[in-house]
Amino acid sequence: MRLISKSTVIMFLFDMCVLVLSTTIWYSYFVLPEDFLDITVLMTALTGVTALFLKDNYKIREFNVTLKNFYLLFEGIVFAHIPAAILLLTFVQTPKTFEFLLVNLLTIFIVLRLYRAGFHYYLFNFKKTKRVLILGKNNNARIIANEILNKKALKMDVIGMIDDGFENFETNSSLKVLPKIDKNIMLKADIFIVATEHRMDEEFLTQMVESIPGHVKVYKMPEFYEMVTGKYFIDKMSVNWLFYDFMNKRSLVYDFCKRIYDIVAALIILTVTFPVLLYIALRVKCTDGGPAIYTQSRIGKNGKPFKMYKLRTMYINDFVPNAENIEHTDSQDDDARVIPFCKFVRKARFDEIPQMINILKGEMSIVGPRSEWENLVSIYSKDISYYPCRQWVKTGWTGWAQINQGHCISNEDITEKLQYDLYYLKHRNLLWEIGILIKAVFLALGGRHG
């Protein structure tokens, strides 16, 4: 996918340099054993940029200096030092180890924090604003214009919409509507987005080729929408394109590797969490005498139902979602049905770890669209266009939608979640799915996974 800004790459390289230089300098200053220098620097640098990536430090389209970003930066740098701390505290048992870790952590945090403050100031005060022209004045054009204008960190401004001769909807009064493609106007643009909903004839296409200068980057509206949102733009035409992308991307090699990845990841997660799961299960059993593990009927790949395993965190009841009580499917901390000590269990998603059994059975995958109740699938399929498309792949324990949006129930939010799911369908690959799993674990440990 084409990059909108090089700022992400620059920030990544700067962070890598700071992690390497600071760790090398302070390690030498505290005269720690030379044998562990290289591995300490390597572990800190790689874990650091990985943690910062997982903490959304490189999501430039939403970059801003906020208290949340301040905390996420600090949290990422703390995670960066955990592998090195384990190594050094195991093999280099000296007070200087603690001093090195503390000073290095503070140095890296201060330098990266100052860099981000400076970058933010440059971004909003000195960086050139890219000028955008949009072909079309329809709903699609308005959608992409609003996305651009609402994401200030993109440093883009919509200088006008060009009438393509088909749509006649009213546009935002702040946006200038141009009657036709004009070469003089095109010279002022940096980006040209084609948002027309109709096929353009050869005469119109030729006119655009003659009018658009070489420095102007040209995008289809759905392509640009994906770049600025991380979601798939859904309409009749784009879903047809998704079908071709999906079918042509099928691969026996990918399916085999993904199955191996699912099995290995599921076994590791079950092994690591088994003591915690056993403790939770025993406490749940002792609470009301009911079973610790239960099953729910969920919809999987190609609309096939299966029994999904879950760790019970609520008192025994016969609740089944329907159109009238759908709001009760939301996970609320003050829900009287939740066993009190299980509130954190639900936040950290320990109750969903038994789904590893479904993954080992081949009914689910580690990464994919969320598994939903049969009743909810029926409701959403009736109310939301193209909702069944998410069933083209196995449902997942976590997924692109879960780490970006979390749990939701309203039709508006489910429609947005579908956009994330279809984005995953289009761009899925094994390396990305490994990254999604790692980020999901980070979010779950912080009680923020949806």
CATH class of residue range 130-229: alpha beta
pLDDT at 332: 52
Burial class (CB in 10 A: 0-12, 13-18, 19+), 27: buried
Would the CA dihedral through 134, 135, 138, 143 be positive or negative? negative
Where exactly are the structural domains of the chain? 7-125, 130-229, 252-445
Strands (E), 114-154: 130-135
pLDDT at 202: 86
Could you tell me which residues come within 8 angstroms of residue 23 by beta carbon, excluding any fewer than 6 positions away? 40, 41, 44, 45, 84, 104, 108
pLDDT of residue 193: 93
| pLDDT profile of the chain (450 residues), mean per 10 | 66 93 95 93 93 77 70 88 92 88 96 89 85 88 89 86 66 68 83 87 85 90 91 90 91 94 95 92 85 91 94 72 53 67 82 94 95 90 92 94 81 91 94 88 69
On whether the CB atoms of residues 178 and 235 are closer than 8 A, the answer is: no
Q: Give the per-residue pLDDT at 356.
A: 95
pLDDT of residue 410: 78
Distance CA 280, CA 290 (A): 13
Distances (CA, A) of 138 to 162, 163, 171, 254: 10, 9, 8, 39
- Residue 18, classed as helix, strand or coil, is helix
pLDDT at 44: 95
Alpha-carbon distance of 9 to 376, in angstroms, equals: 41
pLDDT at 327: 53
